[in-house]
């Protein structure tokens, strides 16, 4: 079955094209149209930070729906993806998405994937959100995002390295890069060379690489319309359950005009990444509940929640999963 799944995945991934070349952001950042020359290439933002002196705040277009710290003023409900019905996870924690989440804007400069992961990672490690009004923190964001970009490419350039996806699925780095590069008509070497450079749009391969480098799950969400309201539907749980010993980072693939957008009018696939933070109240309750259960069992909290989990995967579920997230693996989305 795994062999059939892998063949299907590659046929599907290679059949997709990049739908976002030249898409221009209206809400996430200033002029961020992609370079669109006749030479095949990964899309690249034209709005680039060339030196610390060019960094300004806010590094995104102002919006009445975004506060001074970059947080969207409204919380949004999270829901599981349809693909999750096909996954028989043995731990109930995978159903815990029916809680609200806060969304935070990040700069739209071609590096939005790495910015969104950086801000989530900083909060996960420090327990507090970065105050991006502080120039030193904003500079750190740009520097750390650049570091994450390099770490992702370092990982992808290890051809025989097995990268964990989710469930029980692994993929060699060379196969992932080759499939991504083929979407742009370039070689794997050219793909990695371009991806090392600032402002080239990152996507699925880089998400997979970073969840393996950081050894932390990265869950990806998309905008969905429910009774004329936006909800956040989970697209994938990259890194789960293998890296579940550490809290997941959550990111949103959205229309770059969000939140200044009417539900139902968003692009069919996201073209900008944002940070996403589950409700602090709910997360606090979960931590207390875990500690209580660990004490009752006489074990420690990490051992109670970590380690690989046996997962049953139906082939139809994997097919739908790849169909939902395959666009992330090439054009993905940034800045746009």
Over the stretch 176-220, which tens digit does the pLDDT of each residue have? 999 999 989 999 999 999 999 999 999 999 999 999 999 999 999
Rounded CA-CA distance 110/59 in Å is 12
User: Which pLDDT belongs to residue 91?
Assistant: 52
Distance of CA 293 to the CA centre of its chain: 31
Question: Predicted confidence band at 242 (pLDDT cuts at 50, 70, 90)?
Answer: very high
Q: How far apart are CA 243 and CA 233, in angstroms?
A: 21
Q: Please give the full DSSP string across 94-120, using - where no structure is assigned.
A: GGTT-SEEEEE----SS-HHHHHHHHH
Owner of token pair 């309201």: 229
Question: What token pair was written down for 61?
Answer: 């277009």
Tokens 């074990």 found at: 299
Domains (ranges, CATH) in the chain?
2-329 (3.90.70.80)
- Quote the pLDDT of residue 85: 75
- pLDDT above 70: percentage of residues in the chain: 68
Tens of pLDDT along 263-277? 999 998 888 999 999
For the ranges 23-32, 82-91, 93-102, the maximum mean pLDDT occurs at 93-102
26: DSSP letter: S
The helix (run of H) or strand (run of E) holding residue 276 is strand 272-278
CB atoms within 10 A of CB 111: 28
pLDDT classification of 40: cutoffs 50, 70, 90: low
Q: How confident is the model at residue 34 (pLDDT cuts 50, 70, 90)?
A: low
* First-residue to last-residue Cα distance in the chain: 38
In the predicted model, is pLDDT for residue 172 greater than 60? yes
The reported pLDDT for the residue numbered 240 is 92
- pTM for the model: 0.78
Above 60 in pLDDT, residue 334?
A: no
As a whole number, mean pLDDT of residues 222-228 equals: 93
For the residues 96-113, what does the mean pLDDT come to? 92
Average pLDDT over residues 18-25: 38
Task: Choose between 42 and 120: higher pLDDT.
Answer: 120
The pLDDT, as a whole number, for residue 270 is 86
Q: Is the predicted pLDDT of residue 10 greater than 90, yes or no? A: no
| Structural Rg of the chain based on CA atoms | 19
pLDDT for residue 148 is more than 90: yes
- CB–CB of 257/26 below 8 Å? yes
Lowest mean pLDDT among 131-140, 259-268, 287-296: 287-296
pLDDT, the chain, mean: 78
Quickly state the pLDDT bin for 28 (edges 50, 70, 90): very low
């Amino acid at each position: 079955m795994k062999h059939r799944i892998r063949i299907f995945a590659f046929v599907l991934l290679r059949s997709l094209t990049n739908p976002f070349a030249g898409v221009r952001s209206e809400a996430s950042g200033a002029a961020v149209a992609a370079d669109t020359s006749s030479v095949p290439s990964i899309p690249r933002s034209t709005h680039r930070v060339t030196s610390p002196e060019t960094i300004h705040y806010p590094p995104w277009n102002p919006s009445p729906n975004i506060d001074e710290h970059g947080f969207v003023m409204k919380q949004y409900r999270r829901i599981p993806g349809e693909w999750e019905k096909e996954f028989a996870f043995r731990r109930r924690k995978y159903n815990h998405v029916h809680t609200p989440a806060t969304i935070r804007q990040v700069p739209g400069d071609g590096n939005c994937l790495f910015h969104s992961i950086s801000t989530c990672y900083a909060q996960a490690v420090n327990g507090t959100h970065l105050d991006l009004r502080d120039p030193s923190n904003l500079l750190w964001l740009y520097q750390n995002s650049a570091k994450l970009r390099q770490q992702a490419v370092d990982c992808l350039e290890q051809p025989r390295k097995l990268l964990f996806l989710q469930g029980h699925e692994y993929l060699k780095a060379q196969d992932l890069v080759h499939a991504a590069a083929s979407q742009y008509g370039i070689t794997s070497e050219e793909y990695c060379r371009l991806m090392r450079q600032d402002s080239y749009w990152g996507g699925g391969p880089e998400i997979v690489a970073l969840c393996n480098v950081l050894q932390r799950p990265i869950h990806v969400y998309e905008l969905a319309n429910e009774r004329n309201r936006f909800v956040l539907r989970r697209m994938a749980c990259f890194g789960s359950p293998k890296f579940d010993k550490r809290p997941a980072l959550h990111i949103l693939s959205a229309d770059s005009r969000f939140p200044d957008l009417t539900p139902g009018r968003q692009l069919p696939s996201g073209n900008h990444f944002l940070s996403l933070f589950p409700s602090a109240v709910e997360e606090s309750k979960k931590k207390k509940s875990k500690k209580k259960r660990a004490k009752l069992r006489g074990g420690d909290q990490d051992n109670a929640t970590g380690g690989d989990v046996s997962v049953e995967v139906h082939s139809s579920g994997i097919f739908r999963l790849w169909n939902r997230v395959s666009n992330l693996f090439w054009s993905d989305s940034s800045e746009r």
